[in-house]
Structure 1
Amino acid sequence: ACGLGLMSLTLPIDIQHGDTLVFLCAIGFATHILLIEKYSKSIDPLIFATIQLFVVSLGSFIAAFLLERPLTIPNNTWGAISYTGIMATSLTILIQSGVQKYTSATHAALILSAEPVFGAFFAWITIGEVLSTREMFGAILILAGMLISEIDSLGSSGKKDV
């Protein structure tokens, strides 16, 4: 948490409504990872991913209908929306549903916690984004936390849980 804070927060820290939503989202993702661990061993990954996507799509549609104003979406954004829906959502949920049965929820959470580090790395490669010293230190803390967790699990059990 400290590493992510260093990568993303600025001073003064002022908690807004969106911050509360992000916190609730983190609880939702943790629950999602635990449920995948519980059910992925007994359900076909394609069926499991389809069920997940249907439930989330239905819930999102209902929430948008009740809570949001109708949007006018420009025609030139449909490609990006389609890419995000297919590649960054459907495909990743299918992959996670298929491969998480081979590891624990803890390892899955560790891997997913590296997302901001990889995002910053690919932003540097693709668009030349530069990280400040504080942001680099945050990325190092995230990676160090992952490494310490893995070393600790190796030391306590004598073998690596893959």
Structure 2
Amino acid sequence: MNNIKGSLILLLTAFIWGTAFVAQTSGAGAVGTFTFNAARSIVGALFLAVVIVIKNVLDKRNNSGKVINTENESHLQTWPLGAGIICGIVLFAAMTFQQYGISVYPQGVAASGRSGFITATYVVMVSVVSVFMGKKMHWITGVSVAGCVAGMYLLCMSGGVSGIYLGDVLVFLGAICFTTHILVIDKFSSADSMKMSCIQFMVIAIISTFAMIFTENVTFAGIKVALIPILYAGVLSGGIAYTLQMVGQKYAQPSVASIVMSLESVFAVLAGWIVLGELLKPKEIMGCVLVFTAVILAQIPGMKKGDTK
């Protein structure tokens, strides 16, 4: 039952993240990378802070008159500062590579869908990294890696080296950072998800703001144009989705969690097509199919071993 609960939470997370690629693509045309990420992170952190305060008030009201275990109460009140800072630094790198990559795609390129599928390769990378952490590579994992490489070739290199965009490289570097973020979250799975998420966005907001001041020309007009994308990315993709990811990973099996979250790439393509009118070329579509297949295959060994929560 917990696995189903976790899977549904992560499905909602994947939908929000997938549609957020449209917001990021729209916002990239109005403001710089650090401006966008600073604004969305501030919004996300403030949103979570308000939710945490409301939750604490409701918890105190519900627990009034009850006998409280002081040790458990102390644990619940603790803010996982160290975990939040580490997650924030890693996620800052991931978000920066991804957002800047999206912003430098040429006009006419399906930036939302393309970046969505390249980002999804982090699922395969998590499986590969596990090998270097002492786990034996299953032959299916090897097939998934080959499929992912083939898919990336069709998606990004079907026209030769000239078919690779700078955005592809940057988004792929972001995917590597997202791989690290997944592994870091798993290490701190016992921490308070909402508080850790709030701290990580505070960290991203602080670093992005300093970077914005020294590297970008911020205008009120630009922020006004990007306001809706910033709010969507901040409240939904940031404040809600990243917290749901942490909660969902506590309940769902790791292999199932990765598969469900990989649907983010499918939602990205659909949202880009419906909202922005983006279209993928036949070879790019085939590449997407191969990447998605590789993502699914990469999780089969974990399922066969019956990983539990």
Q: So what's the TM-score if we normalise by structure 1? A: 0.75
1:102 corresponds in structure 2 to 251
Q: Which runs of 5+ in 2 are unaligned?
A: 1-147
SS of the aligned residue for 2:194 comes to helix
Aligned residues: 159
Contact 1:34–1:105 (CA<8 Å) still a contact in 2? no
- Please report how far the alpha carbon of residue 154 of structure 1 lies from its aligned counterpart in structure 2 after TM superposition: 3.3
- 1:32 matched to 2:181? The reply is yes
Distance 2:256 2:249 in 1: 9
- 1:118 matched to 2:267? The reply is yes
- Please report how far the alpha carbon of residue 145 of structure 1 lies from its aligned counterpart in structure 2 after TM superposition: 1.2
Compared with structure 1, are the counterparts of its residues 145 and 50 closer, same or farther at alpha carbon in structure 2 (3 Å cutoff)?
Answer: same
Deviations 1:77-102 (A, max 9, x none): 32332122111222111111211223
Compared with structure 1, are the counterparts of its residues 24 and 77 closer, same or farther at alpha carbon in structure 2 (3 Å cutoff)?
Answer: closer
2:206 corresponds in structure 1 to 58
* 1:37 partner letter: D
* 1:67 partner letter: T
- 1:48 matched to 2:202? The reply is no
Distance 1:94 1:52 in 2: 11
Q: Which runs of 5+ in 1 are unaligned?
A: none
- 1:145 matched to 2:294? The reply is yes
Q: So what's the TM-score if we normalise by structure 2? A: 0.44
- Please report how far the alpha carbon of residue 104 of structure 1 lies from its aligned counterpart in structure 2 after TM superposition: 6.2
Compared with structure 1, are the counterparts of its residues 161 and 141 closer, same or farther at alpha carbon in structure 2 (3 Å cutoff)?
Answer: farther
SS of the aligned residue for 1:131 comes to coil
Identical pairs, percent = 30
Compared with structure 1, are the counterparts of its residues 86 and 27 closer, same or farther at alpha carbon in structure 2 (3 Å cutoff)?
Answer: same
